[in-house]
Amino acid sequence: MSSSPAQLPPFESLYQQYRPMVLQVCLGYVQGDRDQAKDLAQEIFINVWRALPQFRGEASAKTWIYRITVNTCLMYIRTTRRKEKVAQEAVHHLVQADWVEEGAMYQPLYQAIGKLPELDRLIIMMVLDELEYEEIARVTGINAVSLRVRIHRIKNKLRQLL
């Protein structure tokens, strides 16, 4: 005799019941940054929504959501570390590209990149990581012509900030 999978409450109910737990876990992973934690929690509940059809009832809803939370947070940390590594490599590329004088400290460059809007930071990091413009266009959803103009403006902005 086979047992049928446990039924989950409606998504809205899961969200209301487990959001505080998810937010608390996220806060730990992002070192207390509330805005990042809220963004991460939103991503987690998108993942929960997508995974609802796969819920088999082998664990409680709380355990299942907790696992999704931890997996999403770990993926976030891996991605963040990769971005930090790309940022460090970007500084190296910029220095070699004569954007800053030899021997200059990296800190001003980090600060300049940090002042860019998030999408511009992402774009310049991909440029500095030597991705093809077509690939950057696919990732960002910006058409290739507009992307080239935007990259030019980002470079000019960095020059001004430096």
109 and 73: one domain? no
Residues 94-114 have a mean pLDDT of 55
Least confident of 2-6, 35-39, 62-66, 146-150: 2-6
Provide the number of structural domains found in the chain: 2
Residue type for 137, please?
A
Residue range of the domain that includes 127: 97-161
Q: Is the pLDDT of residue 3 over 70?
A: no
Distance of CA 109 to the CA centre of its chain: 21
pLDDT tens per residue across span 13-58? 999 999 998 988 888 777 777 888 899 999 999 999 999 988 888 7
Q: Which of 26, 52, 80 is the last residue of a domain?
A: 80
Q: How confident is the model at residue 100 (pLDDT cuts 50, 70, 90)?
A: very low
Indicate whether 90 belongs to any domain.
no
Indicate whether 149 belongs to any domain.
yes
pTM: 0.49
CATH number at residue 157: 1.10.10
Task: Provide the pLDDT for residue 154.
Answer: 92
Q: At what angle do helices 61-96 and 11-29 cross, to 10 degrees?
A: 50
* Mean pLDDT of the residues in the chain: 78
CATH number at residue 51: 1.10.1740.10
Three-class secondary structure of residue 72 per DSSP: helix
Distance of CA 157 to the CA centre of its chain: 23
71 and 119: one domain? no
Q: Output Rg (C-alpha) for the chain, integer angstroms.
A: 21
